[in-house]
Amino acid sequence: MRLFAAIDLNDEVRTAIAAEQKHIAAEFGHADRSSLKWVQPAQMHLTLVFLGEIAAAAVPPIVDAVSASLKVAPFTVAFERLGVFPPHGAPRVLWLGVSEGASQVADVQRQVARRLEQAGVALERRPFHPHLTLGRWRSSRPGDARRALEADRRAIVARLPVDAVTLYQSRLGPGGATHTALARATLT
């Protein structure tokens, strides 16, 4: 099973993100729009930990590990500021950053990652950078990063109250990924 842990978005945030994607697309022009594949807002979430493929027998302890409440008070995040991965050269991913609440998101991510490691999951050691993926380039040039960042309004796009983390199973299919919630941890 392909698993990940994430913070869910509400409908208000998804609507604001969709409007921001339309604004960016309008700023890009036709050539850039055709090479950028947008993530559908209904599929968006703030990924904390991507576990990858996990054997079915290993899932129950992971569900138990994620289900316990987290010792972090509920908080609010603000989404703002565009960025790209990688930061130099031709970009592959366009993302929207987390400003307000970033330290709390990082704290929640560390707690979830620690629990998963204790449940036997080997996690990648890449530094965590809280963000929402807005789109992925099919092909890009170094100048695409500059054009994308010029579309940044430098304003808060949306605010999200955070009170839980969800463990999802992700199934890839011809119509895109479908996500099924397996466990939920509340913040306390």
The single residue of 45, 88, 129, 179 carrying the catalytic annotation is: 45
pLDDT above 70: percentage of residues in the chain: 97
Q: Return d(Cα 182, Cα 11) in angstroms, integer.
A: 21
Q: Return d(Cα 62, Cα 121) in angstroms, integer.
A: 8
Amino acid at 37: K
Write out pLDDT tens, residues 28-70. Answer: 775 555 588 999 999 999 999 999 999 999 999 999 999 999 9
According to the model, what pLDDT value does residue 134 have? 96
Find out whether 82 and 27 touch, Cβ atoms under 8 Å: no
- Is 179 catalytic? The answer is no
Backbone phi, psi, residue 140, to 5° = -150, 165
Write out pLDDT tens, residues 3-16. Answer: 999 999 999 999 99
Domains and CATH numbers, the chain: 2-186 (3.90.1140.10)
The residue assigned the tokens 């700023």 is 27
Write out pLDDT tens, residues 117-128. Answer: 999 999 988 899
pTM check: above 0.85: yes
Find out whether 116 and 62 touch, Cβ atoms under 8 Å: yes
User: Where residue 173 falls among pLDDT bands split at 50, 70, 90?
Assistant: confident
- Is 129 catalytic? The answer is no
